[in-house]
Structure 1
Amino acid sequence: MFRNGVVNVADRRSIRTKTGIKQAFLTLLNNKTISKITISELTELADIGRGTFYLHYQDIYDLYSEVEQEMFTQLNRFYDESFPLNERRGVVHFINKMTDYIYHNKTLFNVLINPEDTLLTPEKFKQAFKAKILQEMIKEDHYPNQPTILEETESMFIASGVFGVIEDWIIRGMVEEPTGMSLRIEQLLLKLET
């Protein structure tokens, strides 16, 4: 990919092509379910040939998987960046980054939370967030073993609550700015501490 510190031209073209395919895919997902999208209409909208699509993806579901994985990777990165900070600042930092990312990727999240397409269920978000919360709880307790039932329950409660608020925000069209949404979530979490 890199030669003498420079990105290869072919790699840049590949990245640009994949970005175009993903944008066309999200546009189509705004109007129909994934099972109704054809490779023909996707490639036409992305202005590429079918062969180019198949060079990068096996099928529509492979493309969807990559889009979903990139989103989870980014959210995990925000979480990991936020948590060598002390607990309160870490949570605030993560929620700020997460709501900002969701807000600036409205199309993606409107599509991913679409109740008609159940590929990405709220459960996947909750489970991913719960796993991160448990990881932090175990670190705080200084126990390198399995979480307790209380920690399991508490982490699911927090993950479900935070995601429920975010899901509602997405469904309502994200009319509130990300900073306002972050502040509301932070206030709700603080109420739990008292």
Structure 2
Amino acid sequence: MDRRIKKNQAAIMHAFLQLIAKKDFEKITINEIAELADVNRGTVYSHYAVLDKCVENQLNHLMECCYSIDAAGPFPSKAPLLRTIQEIENNALLYKTLLDMKDVPSFRTHLSRMIHNQLMEHLKADSAGLDELGKLIFAQFMSSAIVGVIEWWFNASMPCSAEELTERLWSLLEANRMNL
């Protein structure tokens, strides 16, 4: 890919992330993105659907930061969960904004799906006595719980550190793991 195209895409993404941290998605205009990115309006349209690309990039970044090769059994280890929550904490305004957005493709859905898929990978490796439907229900329950706790954490103005949240969440996950 041409360097200029990559540069424009990066500038558009950066501009979009800056704007979404400051104002509601519905109030962001293509002109604002173009002006902040220092590109013309047509360039913004020609590169991609900005929000979808932003969500995809943020999820890919989370996956890269938080994936664990050392994980075994139906749960990943605590370390990737901590890295995930720390990454979310380090970019709290962005992730809170993405989780709160209404009437646009849901970051919450994408995040939940990412966690669900990782849990399913681990459940396939360690069947834990569950049939396929049981695995699906268990992964859905756990991914919804994790995302729900993260949303609560934001809405409660992050009343504890990422480390404490991880410890408490991990103890709940472990308690559910014992029931498999």
The TM tier, using the shorter chain, reads 0.7 to 0.9
What's the counterpart of residue 68 of structure 1?
55
What's the counterpart of residue 41 of structure 2?
50
Deviations 1:23-43 (A, max 9, x none): 321232234443332211222
Letter in 1 for 2:81: I
Q: Does 1:139 find its partner at 2:130?
A: no
Question: 2: distance between equivalents of 1:43 and 1:161?
Answer: 38
**Higher CA-based Rg:** 1
Identity %: 23
Contact kept in structure 2, 1:21 and 1:43, CA below 8 Å:
yes
Contact kept in structure 2, 1:26 and 1:107, CA below 8 Å:
no
Tell me the TM-score normalized by structure 2: 0.80
Note the C-alpha offset of 1:91: 2.5
Letter in 2 for 1:139: A
Contact kept in structure 2, 1:34 and 1:117, CA below 8 Å:
no
What's the counterpart of residue 5 of structure 1?
none
Match of 1:168 among 152, 155, 161: 152
Q: Residues 87 and 140 (structure 1 numbering): CA distance in 2 closer, same or farther, change over 3 Å?
A: closer
Instruction: Structure 2: state its 5+ residue gaps.
Output: none
Contact kept in structure 2, 1:103 and 1:178, CA below 8 Å:
yes
Of stretches 94-103 and 113-122 in structure 1, the one that deviates more from structure 2 is 113-122
Between the two proteins, the alignment pairs up a number of residues equal to: 178
Note the C-alpha offset of 1:159: 0.9
Letter in 2 for 1:132: Q
Q: Residues 84 and 114 (structure 1 numbering): CA distance in 2 closer, same or farther, change over 3 Å?
A: same
Structure 1: 4+ residue segments shifted above 6 A: none
Q: Residues 116 and 141 (structure 1 numbering): CA distance in 2 closer, same or farther, change over 3 Å?
A: closer
Q: Does 1:130 find its partner at 2:119?
A: no
What's the counterpart of residue 30 of structure 2?
39
Match of 2:97 among 104, 107, 111: 111
Note the C-alpha offset of 1:168: 1.2
Note the C-alpha offset of 1:47: 3.1
Tell me the TM-score normalized by structure 1: 0.75
Match of 1:96 among 67, 79, 82: 82
Question: 1: distance between equivalents of 2:155 and 2:10?
Answer: 25
Q: Residues 37 and 53 (structure 1 numbering): CA distance in 2 closer, same or farther, change over 3 Å?
A: same
Q: Residues 103 and 14 (structure 1 numbering): CA distance in 2 closer, same or farther, change over 3 Å?
A: farther
Note the C-alpha offset of 1:49: 2.6
Q: Map residues 145-160 of structure 1 onto 2, 5 A cutoff.
A: 148-160=132-144
Q: CA RMSD in A?
A: 3.0
Q: Residues 34 and 97 (structure 1 numbering): CA distance in 2 closer, same or farther, change over 3 Å?
A: same
What's the counterpart of residue 64 of structure 2?
77
